[in-house]
Amino acid sequence: MQNYRNHYVSVNQKFLISIAVAVLWATFSLWVARFWFDDLSSLIGGVLAGYFILFIAIVPGFINAFMFSSLMLDRRPDRIHLKRYPGLSILVACYNEEKSIQATILSIYKQRYPGPLEVIAINDGSTDQTLPILRKLSRKFSWLKVVHVKKNQGKALCLNQGLKISKYSLIVTLDGDSFLFKEALSRIVERYKSNPVHTRAVAGTVMVRNSRDNWITQSQEWDYFHGIATVKRVQSLYQGTLVAQGAFSLYNKKALQEINGWPDTIGEDIVLTWALLEKSYRVGYCEDGIVFTEAPNTLLSFIKQRQRWARGMFEAFQYHPKILFKKKLHSFFIWWDLLFPFMDFAFTFGFIPGLIAACLGHFWIVGPMTLSLFPIALFVNWVMYHIEGKMFNLQKLIVRRNILGFFIYIFPYNLILQPAAVAGYLYQIFGLKKTWGTK
């Protein structure tokens, strides 16, 4: 699209180019879909036909085109190596992590971070052997502090307790079932220091550690490697990653104190990130600061996780509605997020019944137009694979040939994911009981 060696293209110009590409694709899609609309509206009416066509085909196509163009234009600045590395306070909220917490703490030790470091492990009323394991480790490592909360309070309250007693100006959060890859701490600090001065948080890259468990984790491996990582990369390009996830992110302590730390919500990391963005702070992304985490390996735990994520997005809108009207590039992605419930409802109540109808020979919703999205999706995924694969190669990591997981991720995955998100929206809308999880 351009010769980067000879021409500088600003972030605003990249954004406008990507919007133009997406609008052109959406315009072409609307022109092609006019015959589909005529046929479908005669069966279910113009309003429903327009809704399903818009959110099953047109909007996803717009998003794919925007992502493709943005990825092609993205050239991330180099991280700078520091002469002196600042102190880090690492907060690890733990709840029943006896199987993984030792590996998590040892992964911090193996980092050999070149600056001062403290680790505050907050045991959130665990009923297993998490606390004895932590206490044993604290006798071995002087930089490990253990805080015991007798009754389970939830992740946000535990992180806030850790924040109160932390002594360094930079805070890192890490899940109790996560494993830091080599130099992850140094890299996320370098990315923070390399970013614009108004940056107050940087999200690390989260990958699946237990991808060989079964088909559920195999498909999530591709979701983390392709979908989540790519979205964060593009959002960071436009000055505002929308989620600095609790599994591995770096924050400025003063900024956390300014927004009163983590809110007592289901999606505490989403709501906190939006609070920073609402203050006009920037949230970056470190593509090569990698942590491997345990993904849900049962269908029920996966569904519950995605329901929590969906509820977290609703909570973010409830807590920070004004962010929609800030004149920042990242506001585009906030408005973009507003479209996801409409797409999820359209997929759940339009595409899935349409798929069943197509199996019976009725191609009212799932037909040539919707099937044309698959080659486009495959092409966009190839671009994602190529870009993320280069990052893996630089880390001397190998992209596993997880072919089964890829094909589950491309299509059947959404048959679970989007109905789960719809359930999460409904739980939040009707104020149903909130349940806490470690993810």
- Cα–Cα distance, 258 to 125 (Å, whole number): 28
| Degrees, nearest 5: CA angle 203-207-212 | 165
Which is it for the CA torsion 200, 421, 293, 221, positive or negative?
negative
pTM over 0.85: yes
- Cα–Cα distance, 367 to 354 (Å, whole number): 9
- Residue 270: CB atoms within 10 A of its CB come to 28
- Residue 344: CB atoms within 10 A of its CB come to 22
Residue 266 makes CB contacts below 8 A (sequence gap 6+) with: 308, 311, 312, 315, 428, 434, 436
Stretch 8-18: mean pLDDT:
89
Contact 245, 269 (CB under 8 A): yes
Stretch (H or E) spanning 49: helix 46-53
pLDDT of 436 strictly over 60: no
Indicate the burial class of 44 (C-beta count within 10 angstroms; 0-12, 13-18, 19 or more). Answer: middle
Its CATH architecture, for the domain 88-325, is Alpha-Beta Complex (3.90)
Length of the chain, please? 439
pLDDT value, residue 261:
96
DSSP 189-256: HHHHHHS-TTEEEEEEEEEES-TTS-HHHHHHHHIIIIIIHHHHHHHHHTT--S---TTEEEEEHHHH
Helix, coil or strand: residue 122? strand
pLDDT in tens, 157-171: 999 999 999 999 999
- Cα–Cα distance, 22 to 38 (Å, whole number): 24
Crossing angle of the two packed helices 373-394 and 403-410, in degrees rounded to 10: 140
Q: HSE of 193 in the Cβ direction (CA atoms, 13 Å)? A: 17
- Cα–Cα distance, 60 to 66 (Å, whole number): 10
pLDDT value, residue 3:
46
Indicate the burial class of 200 (C-beta count within 10 angstroms; 0-12, 13-18, 19 or more). Answer: buried
CA 36 to chain centroid: 34
User: Hey, what amino acid is at 19?
Assistant: I
The owner of tokens 């701490």 is 185
Range with the poorest average pLDDT among 110-124, 378-392, 416-430: 378-392
Q: HSE of 218 in the Cβ direction (CA atoms, 13 Å)? A: 15
Query: Average pLDDT, whole number, for the chain?
Result: 89
Rounded-to-10 torsion of CA 128, 130, 131, 137: 150
pLDDT value, residue 1:
44
pLDDT in tens, 261-311: 999 998 999 999 999 999 999 999 999 999 999 999 999 999 999 999 999
Domain residue spans of the chain = 88-325
What is the maximal distance between C-alpha atoms in the chain?
A: 73
Distance of CA 219 to CAs 69, 308, 398, Å?
25, 19, 17
pLDDT value, residue 438:
40
